[in-house]
Amino acid sequence: MKSWKILTAAALAAAFAANSWAQQTTLRIFTGGQQRPDVMRKIADEYQKRNPAVKVDVEVGGATSEAQQQYLSTVLSSKDSVLDLVLIDVIRPAQWAAQGWAEPLDAYLGADKAKVLPTYLKAYADANQVGGKLIALPYFADSQFMYYRKDLLEKYKRPVPRTWDEMMETAKIVMEGEKNPQLQGFSTAGAPIEGTVCTYLVPLWGMGSDLTKDGKLNLDTPQARQPFQLYGRMKQAGVLPRNIAEIPTDRIRIDMQAGNLLFAMSWGYVWNRLENDADSKVKGKIGVATLPHDQGGKSATCIGGWQVAVSAYSKNKPEAVKFARYLSSPEVSKMQAILASHLPVFPSVYKDPEVLKANPWFAEALPVVEGAKSRPVSAQYPMVSDIIRSNMNAYLAGTKTTDVALNDMKSRLKTVYR
């Protein structure tokens, strides 16, 4: 009798476990390598604890925004349901809306939409709405800052530069004084990648100009030449790395972390890596400031960041939306800020004492993020991006002059901005 009871209890337990397993929903989220998948895993683990009926798989791919988008284009163009959620670059919502890849979230949020959207930084609430539809939810914010070696500026009694010319002058003084052939003066993205679009736009914006004006192409101006001329002066001064045309976004972080870079234009995630990676040689030696500008101009920066989209082909849309809302919550925004120095999408999180303890520079970061400018918003953005970055890269590589690069940009962009 006792054996029968034991067997019955075991059978019931097995049946219960099998039933629970059958009812469990598996969500698969795609994230790029630079968006800290290790942090995403920790966040997903916490969500699973609170929601035992949900299992979250994290798929990682692509070292750059372009590589990630190429893979996603293949998956989504075939209407594959393998992915439920995707982290997408802030430049992508218009493209995803045009392609029909993202599930609009309006109906799922209902009345909450009007309550939730005003709590985000306005730029991100706006960026994720296309044609009146909510295409994605903000995951983390970003913009470009100037990172600098505060120990070397103190050593040579140099102030944090406000203009590009001051930055070049300081770089030459420090490089000559250090006599270290590995030390580079200033680095930014120069490879034919998405970040190189900002390498062109930041100096252009700093002169008070823009790629378009009233919806029309605006490159027949002296300011349109300015980015090429600026980097030309830097090359001539020996401030830029010789291989600048080969440098992708994370190479900048690697070079600075190795102690081989004085100034850099890069994104918010870099701080955490410089301060906390075991192999960092610059812990406690890094400062963060607004980007320099030309004399008579003002500092400008690119808006960045990543959004959570639910795949239009997911077979688990209600559960995917619930997870997306968790990922886009103040709680998770705080977790990311502390674990990865990801900039919050909620203004309130910038003032959190624990966040400021982990990232003291966040105290000055909010106005920079709020003032950051968007790259051109267009369903044809992949084409716009390719035209700008390929010409900026060619100029940095020395294969095109300012005139040739700018004329190519104008002639090809006219097909988009007519």
In-domain check, residue 213 = yes
* 18-38 pLDDT tens trace: 454 458 999 999 998 878 999
Same domain, 342 and 384: no
In-domain check, residue 122 = yes
Q: How far apart are CA 345 and CA 328, in angstroms?
A: 8
Per-residue model confidence (pLDDT) at position 17:
47
pTM greater than 0.75 (yes/no): yes
Provide the number of structural domains found in the chain. Answer: 2
Residue 88: in which H helix or E strand, if any?
Answer: strand 85-89
Q: How far apart are CA 98 and CA 125, in angstroms?
A: 18
State the angle between helix axes of 226-237 and 381-397 in degrees (0 to 180), rounded to the nearest 10: 30
Place of tokens 């293949």: 74
Same domain, 135 and 149: no
Of 66-70, 144-148, 271-275, the range with the lowest mean pLDDT is 66-70
In-domain check, residue 151 = yes
Phi, psi (degrees; rounded to nearest 5) at 217: -60, 140
Count CB atoms within 10 A of the CB of residue 7.
10
In-domain check, residue 418 = no
Using the predicted structure, report yes or no on whether residue 283 has a pLDDT greater than 60.
yes
Residue 390: in which H helix or E strand, if any?
Answer: helix 381-397
Confidence of residue 66 (pLDDT cuts 50, 70, 90): confident
Same domain, 44 and 71: yes
Same domain, 235 and 328: no
Same domain, 102 and 195: no
Same domain, 179 and 212: yes
C-alpha distances in Å from residue 15, one per residue of 18, 21, 26, 162, 341: 5, 10, 20, 68, 45
Same domain, 341 and 255: no
* 188-242 pLDDT tens trace: 999 999 999 999 999 999 999 999 999 899 999 999 999 999 999 999 999 999 9
Using the predicted structure, report yes or no on whether residue 173 has a pLDDT greater than 50.
yes
Using the predicted structure, report yes or no on whether residue 119 has a pLDDT greater than 70.
yes
Same domain, 236 and 274: yes
Using the predicted structure, report yes or no on whether residue 83 has a pLDDT greater than 80.
yes
Handedness of CA 192, 197, 198, 201 (dihedral sign): positive
Domain span at residue 15 reads: 2-141+305-369
Same domain, 343 and 402: no
Going by DSSP bridges, is the β-strand pair 25-31/54-60 parallel, antiparallel, or unpaired?
parallel
Of 60-74, 272-286, 346-360, the range with the lowest mean pLDDT is 60-74
Confidence of residue 9 (pLDDT cuts 50, 70, 90): low
What CATH number did the domain enclosing 289 receive?
3.40.190.10
What mean pLDDT value characterizes the chain?
92
Handedness of CA 388, 394, 397, 401 (dihedral sign): negative
Same domain, 136 and 284: no
Q: Supply the DSSP string of 212-228, one letter for each residue.
A: EETTEE--SSGGGGHHH
* 306-335 pLDDT tens trace: 999 999 999 999 999 999 999 999 999 999
Same domain, 53 and 120: yes
Same domain, 87 and 55: yes
In-domain check, residue 237 = yes
